[in-house]
C-alpha cells in the first residue's frame, strides 16, 4: 500500500526561528503533494498544493514567504515555517496524491512555538 | 466550488448503540470522489472509504456502512454497535476526479463522536 512518512512528529521551537517539516512518499511517486493546517477542534485547511519541480500554489490568505514549500522530487516535499511565532503553533499534515492510491496522508507534525 | 457539510458537530452515544454521521456535499462535477476519514486523538488521519460518483452501491465493512445517495447529495456513515474505540473525529471529504492529478481534497468540518460505557 501507499505510505507517506512525515517528520518530525512534533517540534518545539523558539519564536523567530525556522522549522522544516518533511513529507516523503516511501513506495510511490506522488504527482502532487498538499499541505494542510489544523487548529484544535477544527477541520483541515489546505495551505498549498505543490507539484514536483514547480512553484507551489498557495490558498488565499496563506503567506507564501512565511510558509516555504519545496517539492524537489516526486517523493519529497518540505514545508518550512520561517520566523515562527506562537500563532503558527498548529498541527501540520501533508498528503501525497497518486492516480491509483488517491490521497495518502502523513501522520502529522505538531508545532509549538514558544 | 466544492463544499462539504457535516451538520453534526458532536455526537455522544452509549456503547453498543448504532450511530449515523451525516455528510452532504456540493459539486458541479459529474465525476467526483467522496471519502471518510477517522482522526483519533493521536491526530493521524485513518482512511475509511473512497467512493466515486458513478458507484452508488452501499458498502458494508464490518460494523461500518456507508449510504451514498446522489439524489440528495449525501454520503452518510453508520457505525453499528459502537465501541469506545470508535471515539474520534470523523471527516467527510470530496474531490474532483484526481486520476489526472492535482485536484485538492475538500474537508467537512468534522463530527466528534464520543462513545461512552
Instruction: Pick out chain A residues at pLDDT < 50.
Output: none
Q: Which three three-digit cell numbers place residue A84?
A: 515562527
Contact B107 A43 (CB under 8 A): yes
3-state secondary structure of A73: strand
DSSP assignment of chain B equals --EEE---SEEEEETT--EEE--EEE-S-SSEEEEEEEE-TT---EEEEEEETT----EEETTEEEEEEGGGTEEEEEESS--GGG-EEEEEEEEE--TTS-PPEEE---EEEEEE-
Give whole-number Cα distances, B49 to A46, A71, B46, B91, in Å.
21, 28, 10, 11
Mutation pick from B104, B108, B109 vs chain A, by most beta carbons of A within 10 Å, is: B104
A73 DSSP β-pair partners: A76
Task: Give the CB-side neighbour count of residue B89, counting CA atoms within 13 A.
Answer: 20
Of B102, B103, B107, the CB nearest to A44: B107
Mutation pick from B4, B96, B98 vs chain A, by most beta carbons of A within 10 Å, is: B98
Contact A49 B45 (CB under 8 A): no
- Identify the closest residue of chain A to B37 by CA–CA distance: A105
Is A28:A101 a contact under the CB 8 Å cutoff? yes
- pLDDT at residue number B100: 64
User: What are A68-99's pLDDT values in tens digits?
Assistant: 999 888 899 999 999 999 999 999 999 998 87
User: What are B53-112's pLDDT values in tens digits?
Assistant: 998 888 899 999 999 999 999 999 999 999 999 999 999 999 987 776 668 899 999 999
Give whole-number Cα distances, A3 to A47, A102, B81, B107, in Å.
21, 11, 31, 21
Contact A108 B91 (CB under 8 A): no
Of B42, B47, B101, the CB nearest to A32: B101
- pLDDT at residue number B73: 96
- Identify the closest residue of chain B to A103 by CA–CA distance: B105
Of A43, A46, A102, the CB nearest to B109: A43
Cα-Cα-Cα-Cα dihedral sign, residues B22, B26, B29, B35: negative
- Identify the closest residue of chain B to A51 by CA–CA distance: B102
Amino acid at each position: 500500500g501507499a505510505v507517506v512518512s512525515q517528520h518530525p512528529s512534533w517540534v518545539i521551537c523558539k519564536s523567530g526561528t525556522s522549522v522544516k517539516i518533511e513529507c516523503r512518499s516511501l513506495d510511490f511517486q506522488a504527482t502532487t503533494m498538499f499541505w494542510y493546517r489544523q487548529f484544535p477542534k477544527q477541520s483541515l485547511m489546505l495551505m498549498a498544493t505543490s507539484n514536483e519541480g514547480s512553484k507551489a500554489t498557495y490558498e488565499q490568505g496563506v503567506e507564501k514567504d512565511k510558509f516555504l514549500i519545496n517539492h524537489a522530487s516526486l517523493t519529497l516535499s518540505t514545508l518550512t515555517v520561517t520566523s515562527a511565532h506562537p500563532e503558527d503553533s498548529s498541527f501540520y499534515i501533508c498528503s501525497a496524491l497518486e492516480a491509483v492510491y488517491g490521497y495518502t496522508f502523513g501522520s502529522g507534525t505538531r508545532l509549538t512555538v514558544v | 466550488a466544492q463544499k462539504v457539510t457535516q451538520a453534526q458537530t458532536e455526537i455522544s452515544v452509549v456503547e453498543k448503540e448504532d450511530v449515523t454521521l451525516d455528510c452532504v456535499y456540493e459539486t458541479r462535477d459529474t465525476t467526483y470522489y467522496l471519502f471518510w476519514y477517522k482522526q483519533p486523538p493521536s491526530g493521524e488521519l485513518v482512511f475509511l472509504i473512497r467512493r466515486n460518483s458513478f458507484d452508488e452501491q452501499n458498502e458494508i465493512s464490518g460494523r461500518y456502512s456507508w449510504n451514498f445517495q446522489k439524489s440528495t447529495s449525501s454520503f452518510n456513515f453508520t457505525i453499528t454497535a459502537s465501541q469506545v474505540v470508535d471515539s474520534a473525529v470523523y471527516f467527510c471529504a470530496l474531490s474532483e476526479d484526481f486520476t489526472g492529478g492535482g485536484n485538492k481534497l475538500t474537508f467537512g468540518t468534522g463530527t466528534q463522536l464520543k462513545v461512552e460505557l
